[in-house]
């Protein structure tokens, strides 16, 4: 009796800065589970190759993948397969990923990786792998249906752990002689497969699968819980510190932003004009980059972020985007003295700041000229 501990990939989460910290934390804790092999998922590339390599090195994570190559060198980025000997049986463990899965990398430029077609990859690899092992295990980061299609196309796979899938199989599934087991996301379940392997042929003779939900019925490990809580407290402290770098001290606590809906009730025409501008989508741009909780971005992509009573990411208030009052100032100061027009003309450079814009990207042509810029969005 011996145990192989396997994971089909996607250890890391989304690709915001906060998620990068979470990825580091998860990598360290995953190492403590003592995995024998981990397949590569597209999320594991979210922070770029450098980061993945650093995590593998620092935490000795046994990643393997047979179809992702460094575009610059053409080399595989990970070991093509692992051979793990247990109780006299040599398990050859390999993994493939789907070229169609999007790799959104924060650190990497587009095209840092190339993902080869999984079927062709396995056709080439399996005969070589079989020479070195008795039982072939595929960590398939393809989801359930593509995996089932692949084991029908490619002969010689004994056991498959299916990743990139949201539906766990509750028991094993047999497709074209291969035995498929599935994992699900977020460590919500732990799957256990008791496999009997013929010592002579290396063939899998029998499998018995149990899937346990890691719900409230399973007690938390006290040391792990403590460590998770400490990590979350650290994240929260950091968030508060970041928020404090953008104090809400402009304007006055006695004034309020009334929001677009108020203004549009009397200035219908201007509201319709405004809706056509990018200002009306500025917050959506942050969401598209999963940066909608970053104070350094919210300062210019919402209304009144640095003012008393302005946009608040904790309350998800109605002041997202660059609304009327981002330029004209507090609605509670509405008069017809011309003051709100002056405020608006002077507002632009707070955000169209050529030096202090994290999204500026060094584009010299983007230098702000009031007259030209106003012409584009005038109402
Ligand atoms: C609160 C910050 C902020 C203020 C104030 C602001 N802008 Fe912008 N502006 C932005 C952001 C952010 C975008 C990009 C929105 C996006 O694409 O997500 C933008 C985009 C633009 C664009 C390109 C959008 C288009 O529809 O073509 C123009 C032109 C522009 N602003 C002009 C101005 C002018 C003129 C002023 C002052 C009267 C002004 N902005 C005030 C933040 C601001
Ligand atoms: C100092 C103000 C400022 C800050 C801070 C800021 N932006 Fe912007 N952002 C702008 C302005 C102004 C534009 C309009 C485009 C331009 O002039 O380049 C813009 C445009 C954008 C766009 C649309 C442009 C495009 O390429 O289509 C995105 C996306 C964006 N910002 C994301 C971010 C993110 C993410 C952050 C935080 C890391 C951030 N911005 C922080 C002012 C800012
Ligand atoms: C990007 C900044 C910006 C935003 C957002 C903005 N405005 Fe303006 N608005 C200005 C500027 C600048 C002027 C003055 C232009 C001038 O005459 O010099 C102006 C002028 C006006 C005027 C006077 C128009 C006139 O005919 O004299 C009204 C009313 C007004 N805005 C209402 C609104 C309302 C309502 C919204 C929201 C739906 C809005 N604005 C959004 C910058 C902005
Ligand atoms: C109850 C109706 C009403 C509401 C609500 C309203 N306004 Fe006005 N606003 C007016 C009228 C009337 C004028 C003067 C006539 C004009 O310039 O259109 C005016 C003028 C303005 C002016 C020109 C100011 C000046 O000093 O010349 C701006 C800017 C403006 N409004 C912005 C806003 C903004 C921003 C909001 C939302 C916070 C808003 N208004 C809400 C009715 C309203």
**Interval 307-352: pLDDT, tens:** 999 999 887 779 999 999 999 999 999 998 999 999 999 999 999 9
The residues pairing with 26 across neighbouring beta strands, listed in sequence order, are none
Residue nearest to atom 16 of ligand 1 (CA): 282
The Cα–Cα gap between 93 and 158 comes to 10
What SS3 class is residue 141?
strand
Which residue of 327, 343, 377 sits with most ligand 3 atoms within 8 Å of its CB, as the best mutation to test the pocket? 327
pLDDT at 109: 55
pLDDT tops 80 at residue 298: yes
Q: How many CA atoms lie within 13 A of 270 on its CB side?
A: 13
Residue 351 alpha carbon to ligand 4 centre in Å? 23
Total-model pTM? 0.76
Does ligand 4 have an atom closer than 6 angstroms to the CB of 301?
no
Cβ pair 213, 188 in contact under 8 A: yes
Cα(1)–Cα(9) distance, integer angstroms:
25
For residue 341, the ligand 4 atom closest to its alpha carbon is: 29
Residue 48: CB atoms within 10 Å: 18
Counting atoms of ligand 4 from 1, which one is nearest the CA of 324?
35
90, 84 Cβ separation under 8 angstroms: yes
Q: From the CA of 281, which ligand is nearest?
A: 1
CA 256 / ligand 4 centre spacing (Å)? 15
The candidate with the shortest Cα–Cα distance to 63, out of 99, 10, 116, is: 10
Residue 212: Cβ-neighbour burial (10 angstroms; 0-12, 13-18, 19+) = exposed
pLDDT band at 361; cut points 50, 70, 90: low
What is the tens place of the pLDDT at every residue in 73-127? Answer: 999 999 999 999 988 889 999 999 998 887 766 555 557 889 999 999 999 999 9
| Residue-level pLDDT at 106 | 59
What domains appear along the chain, each with residue ranges and CATH number? Answer: 6-227 (3.60.21.10), 248-377 (1.10.1130.10)
């Amino acid at each position: 009796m011996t145990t192989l501990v396997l994971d089909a990939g996607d250890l890391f989460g989304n690709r915001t800065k906060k998620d990068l910290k979470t990825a580091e934390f998860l990598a360290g804790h995953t190492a403590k589970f003592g995995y024998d092999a981990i397949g590569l998922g597209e999320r594991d590339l979210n922070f770029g190759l450098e980061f993945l390599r650093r995590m593998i090195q620092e935490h000795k994570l046994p990643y393997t993948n047979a179809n992702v190559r460094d575009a610059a060198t053409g080399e595989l980025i990970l070991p093509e397969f692992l051979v793990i000997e247990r109780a006299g049986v040599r398990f050859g463990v390999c993994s493939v990923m789907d070229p169609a899965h999007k790799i959104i990398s924060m650190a990497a430029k587009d095209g840092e990786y190339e993902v080869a077609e999984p079927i062709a990859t396995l056709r080439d690899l399996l005969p070589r792998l079989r020479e070195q092992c008795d039982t072939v295990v595929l960590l398939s980061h393809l989801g359930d249906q593509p995996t089932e299609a692949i084991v029908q196309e490619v002969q010689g796979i004994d056991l498959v752990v299916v990743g990139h899938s949201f539906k766990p199989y509750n028991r094993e599934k047999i497709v074209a002689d291969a035995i498929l087991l599935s994992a699900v996301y977020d460590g919500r379940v732990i799957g256990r497969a008791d496999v009997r392997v013929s010592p002579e042929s290396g063939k899998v003779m029998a499998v018995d699968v149990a899937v346990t939900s890691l719900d409230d019925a399973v007690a938390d490990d006290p040391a792990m819980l403590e460590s998770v809580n400490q990590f979350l407290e650290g994240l929260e402290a950091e968030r508060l510190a970041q928020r404090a770098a953008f104090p809400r001290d402009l304007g006055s606590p006695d004034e309020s932003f009334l929001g677009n809906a108020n203004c549009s009730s009397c200035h219908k025409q201007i509201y319709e004009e405004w809706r056509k501008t990018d200002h009306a989508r500025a917050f959506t741009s942050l969401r598209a980059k999963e940066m909608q909780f970053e104070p350094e971005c919210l300062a210019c992509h919402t209304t009144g972020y640095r003012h008393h009573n302005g946009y608040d990411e904790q309350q998800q208030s109605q002041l997202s985007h660059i609304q009327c009052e981002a330029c004209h100032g507090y609605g509670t100061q509405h008069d017809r003295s011309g003051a709100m027009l002056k405020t608006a003309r002077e507002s632009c450079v707070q955000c169209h700041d050529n030096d202090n814009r994290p999204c500026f990207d060094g584009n010299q042509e983007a230098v702000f000229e009031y007259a030209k810029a106003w012409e584009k969005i005038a109402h």
